[in-house]
Structure formats: structure tokens, C-alpha cells
Amino acid sequence: MSKLKINKQLIDNKLIVHLAGTIDEDADFKPLENLTQPVISFDFNDITLLNSCGIREWIGFIQKLPASTRLHYQRCPQIIIEQINMVHGFFKSGSQIESFYAPYFCPNCDKESKILLTTEKIKNSKAPAATCPHCGTEGMEFDALEEQYFHFLKSK
Amino acid sequence: MFKHFDHLFEPLVVLDLKQEIHYFNPSFLNFTKQPPRILRGLKRIDELFAAEGFDLEEWMNAGLLKLDLTISPEIKLRHKLSSQSSHVVLRLFPLTLEEGTFVALSVHDLSIETNLFNKYRQQIEELRSTHAQILQADKLATLGEMTATISHEISNPLTIAAGNSELIEVYLEAEDLTVLQAELIRANKDVRESLERINSIIRNMKQFLWKSEDEKEFCSLTEITQHSLGWLQSSIEEHSIRVETLFRTQDTIMLANKIKVEQVIVNLIKNAIDALAEAKIESPTITLEILRDPQDHQLILNIRDNGPGVPTSIRDQLFSPFMTTKKMGEGTGLGLSISKKIMGSHQGALTYIPQESGSCFQMKLPPIEGYSFTRGDKISRGISTKRGPRVIVIDNEPQILNVLTHFLESEGYHVIASASPYDALRFIQKMDLDLIITDLAMPEISGHELSKRIRELKFKGPILYMSTAKNTEIYNQDKETLKIAGMLLKPFSRDEVVQTIKTALARST
């Protein structure tokens, strides 16, 4: 049984689809088939697991959407970015990543944080500066390999 | 130094001979779910992983010592820095560089495959169990509907037994029993036979209900059809239905679960009886026709009736579960759907053949040669990676086919059975076989004639005859001319069969 929850909201002719749970072999995207809105924005904030079978389901789903539909990806967690960097076809042609999470580490309070970034903040595959949400220290360290993590911005 | 590993999909870490980490690729980060900061802070690989039920340290040490490609079995790897675990196969291989000797440890992550395998295996088990329950429910329903028939079947011999018992009592009151000895023996015999008949009915009922579901054996469709008719005899008589049997072929041996096929036939005949009784046809007739399809040699049983037929509007849903034309409480609506599934599990088919008047259901079963070939193929079924010697057994007696199949399969042979010399010849022409065993006395052509034709097909392997001792002369004549490798004398034991075959195969190589 699908452990993926889908919630749709139509705001000003832009459809926002909130996805929560796991995208795996049981993920059922049927409720999203036959959508006709020109722009669909997917919010991945509450996705907890994405595996290769789920990616297959996702690719199968977006391939069925009309060619003219533009997809926006919002609040992509680290697991989505890692899979996007490894698998071809997660993006539909003409789609756009609006925002995504990136791992940071605060040397002051020794805590890890996921900081929400927008794509325009990334220049030359370098992570932008971030402030620790726990202790307020500026200059957190990026906690992944920059070249690899931001690779999806080049291939998009 | 190791940058070229950056682009690999497979997680990989490079260690020196003390197992200290020198490099890891981005896929390794994804696999461990750790940031590079943590991995760089680790000294040795064993700070990251432990294996369940497998000595990872010993395996690593052995690989480092021999400095050659080393592959682990599939193991469950516990990630020490998180609560997760993965199913993996590890590969260790040496890297000899100017800077020194290193080893690369690459990870083949099988977690998704393993989880899917376990999940689907569990679901298939659940489906099997549900299917078995539905089959059982249908049998119970069928038996419930047949209660009247069974009561009638039992009451006849019971009446005979009771009558004879009373008669014996009367005889025993006579002064001189010696005069009545013959009468007493006859009456007692009638009682015993009647009780045996009742016992046989009850045994059949038990068998119908509880016999193992998956057991398939060589059996005769004609015999099963006649047995099924026996079950329904009183219903047939009650509604004055004429039964016409057209058995157009003698070769009616199939590889099947007798009870399941009987369940299908009983279902179909019972449907025909119900349809005829409901429609009150003037001269109701059920025709049972057995034949072989001339094209694909499948065994066919047509069950026809001259009733009102199936309305066109419901033919598409005829085999859907819970589809019934009977009144509430008279049928579960599962019979045809289950029957179709049973035929499917025999690589056969059940179809409705539209008629100008009346209805016709057609059961089709595959020729036993192809079916026994695929059933015994352990390689395609994933049971074995090695092909055992292929042996074809040709005999028109299903019991012999069952016995030999049982003997030889337990010895690792791949047995193909055939009840028809002509079908066997077609199969021999197409397949690569190691040994042929043929009965000598068969109705279509003799084993001698068959062997002549086999040799004309340029089959160079050993042929064995089987027959009773009176046919030894034929073997003696054919030994040289047809290169017959030996003869199995009926009745034979398991050891005799196995030994004769081993000798024949050894001599041929």
C-alpha cells in the first residue's frame, strides 16, 4: 500500500502539490494524472524516503504529463538532491528547482542543520554563507562535497 | 590520486594495508549517509561497519593478505554511526601505485532488491493461501450442493446391507444352519460389499475435500471424466438426462492434479444439469467429447448440453468471480472462475464455445511431453544450475510413467514423459536427449517399430526397452540391429531401473 500522501492546492492558476511520506515501489501517482494546469509546483518538504523504484514511478508519471506542462520543484530535501544527481530523467524538460535543502555544520555549537537555499544563490558550485539556526553563528561550514552536491544545477 | 573513482555509481572506499581510509567517492557518502567531515575523521573502516553473522574483519584480513580480488557473500551490514543496515556484497581488490599498495573496497548495495524480494514473497504466500481457501470453499459448496446425490448413493447400499442383516437374523433362527449355509454366505457377502461401497463413497468425499493441492501425476482424462459422472449419476437420473460419451482418442493421458481436474469437470457437468433442469428441455442431453487437437495435440474435453445456452450479454463476464445465473443460494458464482484458474495452473485453458443452440465448455490440457519437460527443467525453474541427463519415457500406462518419473527425478534426471509414440517422435526430433526408454507393447505402434523410426532420425544415444519377460526375444533380436542398450523387465524395482540407466549412459559415453 502506498505510503505517499498527496495533497493538491490550486492558487491563482498554479497548482501546488504537497507530497509527504515515501516515494518507493508502491507510490501511486494516479491521483495526479490528467492534470491540465500549465504550471505544477511540487513541494517535497515532507518526503522521508526516495528509492530507485520510486524514481522509476516518478519518471513514469511525469512522462505522461502534457509536454507543455512546466514543473517547479520546491523544498527538495537532501535525499531528493542526491538521487537527482545520480539518476537521469527526474527532471522534465523545462522544469525548474525553486528551492532545496543543503547540509551545513556549525563548528561553534557542533550541530548539523539543513538550510533552505534557492538556486540563484549558488554561484560556481559554491555554497553560500549561512547562519546557524541554533546559536546564530555566522559562517557555517557546508557539510557535503560542493562540486557533487550542486551538480544538478549544471545538468538541468 | 583516486579522483577517477569520483564518477562511479558504486560506493567505493580506498584503504591502505592497515585498513586506514585514504579516499571515498561521493556514492560512498550517499551509502553511509554521513557527511565528508565525519568520514575524514575516521581512522579505520571498522569504525563504520559491522556485519551480522559474518566475520568482516577476518574476511578483510584474508583479502589484504592475498592481495587479489575477493568477493564476500551477501551480508547484512550494520552502519555503526546510524541505526540503519544494508544488504550488500563487498568486493576488495588491490591498487598498486607508485605511492604504495592500497585496496579498494566497493559495495554492491542489494537492499532494495532484498526488501522487494521479501515483500513480494510474503505477498505471493498470502495470495497462495487465499487461493487455497477459495478453492476449499468452492469444494465445500459443491459438496453441499451434492448432498442429495451423496445421500442417495449411500442409502442404496445401506438398504441392501440392512435387508441382508435382517435376513441373516431370520436364517440364524433356523434349527439346521447347514442347510442355509450358502444363503448365509451370500447375505453376508452382500452386507460386506454394501459397506465397502459406502466406505468407498466416504473415502472419495474425503479425498475430494482434503487431498494435497499441488500434487500432479500422470492420469487418464477418460477415467476422471467417468469418475466425475459417477458422482452426479443420481442427479442425472432424477432429471432423466441422457448422457452421450464420445471418446474419440485412446491417448487421454495428462499430467494433472486428479482432484482439481475432477472438481472442474464436476462443476461443468453440474452446471449443465442445473441448466437443463431449470429450462425443462424435452429430451435433455449432455455430451462429453474427448479428443486431441490435430494442430497442437492438446487434450480436449468438450462438455455440451442442449439447454438454453449462455445469454450473449453475460458471456464476457462468465469467468468472473461471483458471476452466476442461478437463483440466490443455489450457487456461489465462483465455480467457473475457480475452474478457469485450475486449468491455468495446468498450463491449460477453459473457454466457452458459442453454439447455435445449447452451450459448450471446452477444457484444454497440454500434451504431456512439453508439460513434463518444462516442469522437470530445474535450470529454468532456478532450482539448479546444472542440467541432469534428459530421459524420455514412452508408455501408454500412466502408472508406469508415474513410477519411472518418481524414480528418475529423485536421482537427478530430467524426465520427459510421453504416452503416444507419435508425439514422442515429434519431441525427439526437436530436443536434445540423452536416453530413451520405451514400452514394447503399445496400441499405436510397437516399441520395436518406434525404435526403428528413432534410429532413422539419427538419434545416437541409448534406447532401453521395457516389457514383461515374454518379450525378451524381441530385445535379443534388436540388440544389435537397433543398438538397444538394455531391457527393463516389468515389474521392476527402483534399483534395477537406476542401475540399468546408469550402465546404458556410461556405455554410450
Which residue among A51, A86, A105 sits closest to B35, beta carbon to beta carbon? A105
Q: Where are the domains of chain A?
A: 4-155
Question: Mean pLDDT in chain B?
Answer: 86
Which pLDDT score is estimated for B443? 84
pLDDT digits (tens, 9 = 90+) for B187-220: 898 889 889 878 877 876 776 666 555 678 899 9
Among B26-35, B189-198, B280-289, B474-483, where is mean pLDDT lowest?
A: B189-198
Task: Verify cis geometry, omega within 30 degrees of 0, for the bond prior to B36.
Answer: no
pLDDT digits (tens, 9 = 90+) for B254-273: 999 888 898 889 889 988 99
B112's CB contacts (< 8 A; 6+ apart) are A51, A52, A53
**Separation of alpha carbons B54 and B429, rounded Å:** 51
Interchain contact, B26 vs A145, CB within 8 Å: yes
CATH topology of domain B380-508: Rossmann fold (3.40.50)
Interchain contact, B35 vs A143, CB within 8 Å: yes
- Which class is B216-366 in CATH? alpha beta
Average pLDDT over residues B302-324: 83
Are B3-109 and B380-508 the same fold in CATH?
no
Q: Which residue of A has its CA nearest to B34?
A: A144
**Separation of alpha carbons A32 and A65, rounded Å:** 9
Interchain contact, A112 vs B29, CB within 8 Å: no
Chain B interface residues (partner A, CB cutoff 8 A): 6, 9, 26-27, 29-30, 35-37, 112, 116
Average pLDDT over residues B370-385: 65
Q: Which residue of A has its CA nearest to B31?
A: A82
Read off the pLDDT band of B104 (50, 70, 90): very high
Which pLDDT score is estimated for B319? 82
Distance of CA B28 to the CA centre of its chain: 46
Intra-chain end-to-end CA distance of chain B, in Å: 57
Interchain contact, B112 vs A105, CB within 8 Å: no
pLDDT digits (tens, 9 = 90+) for B379-436: 555 555 566 789 999 999 999 999 999 899 888 898 999 998 988 998 898 888 899 9
Instruction: Indicate the SS3 state at residue A94.
Output: coil
Q: Chains A, B: CB contacts under 8 A, how many? A: 27
pLDDT digits (tens, 9 = 90+) for B11-56: 999 998 888 899 999 999 999 999 999 999 998 888 899 898 899 8
Which pLDDT score is estimated for B290? 96
**Separation of alpha carbons B451 and B2, rounded Å:** 68
- Nearest-Cα distance to chain B for A111, in Å, is 12
Which pLDDT score is estimated for B138? 77
Interchain contact, B29 vs A51, CB within 8 Å: no
Instruction: Map B133-185 to HEC letters.
Output: HHHHHHHHHHHHHCHHHHHHHHHHHHHHHHHHHHHHHHHHCCCCHHHHHHHHH
Which pLDDT score is estimated for A155? 60
| Contact criterion met (CB below 8 Å) for A19 and A43 | yes
Instruction: Indicate the SS3 state at residue B30.
Output: helix
Fill in the DSSP letter of residue A118.
E
Q: What is the CATH number assigned to the segment(s) A4-155?
A: 3.30.750.24
**Residue predicted with more confidence, B466 or B144:** B466
CATH 2.40.33.20 fits B3-109, yes or no: no
**Separation of alpha carbons A19 and A28, rounded Å:** 11
- The closest of B196, B254, B200 to B223, measured between CA atoms, is B254
pLDDT per 10-residue tile (average), chain A, 156 residues: 86 87 91 86 94 90 88 93 85 86 95 94 91 92 92 75
Interchain contact, B36 vs A53, CB within 8 Å: no
Average pLDDT over residues B462-480: 90
Q: Where are the domains of chain B?
A: 3-109, 216-366, 380-508
**Residue predicted with more confidence, B376 or A144:** A144
Q: Which residue of B has its CA nearest to A54?
A: B112
* Mutation choice for B interface testing from A1, A2, A22, A25 by most B CBs within 10 A: A25
Which pLDDT score is estimated for A114? 95
Q: Nearest 10 degrees: CA dihedral of B150, B155, B160, B164? A: 130
B353, pLDDT greater than 90: yes
Which pLDDT score is estimated for B135? 77
**Separation of alpha carbons A8 and B279, rounded Å:** 57
| Contact criterion met (CB below 8 Å) for B242 and B411 | no
Question: Quick one: B73 exposed, middle or buried, by C-beta within 10 A (0-12, 13-18, 19+)?
Answer: exposed
Read off the pLDDT band of B152 (50, 70, 90): low
B333, pLDDT greater than 60: no
Q: Is the whole model's pTM more than 0.90, yes or no?
A: no
Which residue among A52, A82, A105 sits closest to B112, beta carbon to beta carbon? A52
- Nearest-Cα distance to chain B for A156, in Å, is 18
Which residue among A51, A85, A145 sits closest to B112, beta carbon to beta carbon? A51
Which residues of A are less than 8 Å from B23 in CB distance? none
Which residue among A51, A53, A145 sits closest to B29, beta carbon to beta carbon? A145
Among A3-7, B329-333, B454-458, B468-472, where is mean pLDDT lowest?
A: B329-333
Interchain contact, B35 vs A103, CB within 8 Å: yes
**Residue predicted with more confidence, B31 or B338:** B31
Which pLDDT score is estimated for B328? 47
Q: Is A48 on the interface with B (CB under 8 A)?
A: no
- The closest of A34, A30, A2 to A15, measured between CA atoms, is A34
Read off the pLDDT band of B93 (50, 70, 90): very high
- Nearest-Cα distance to chain A for B133, in Å, is 23
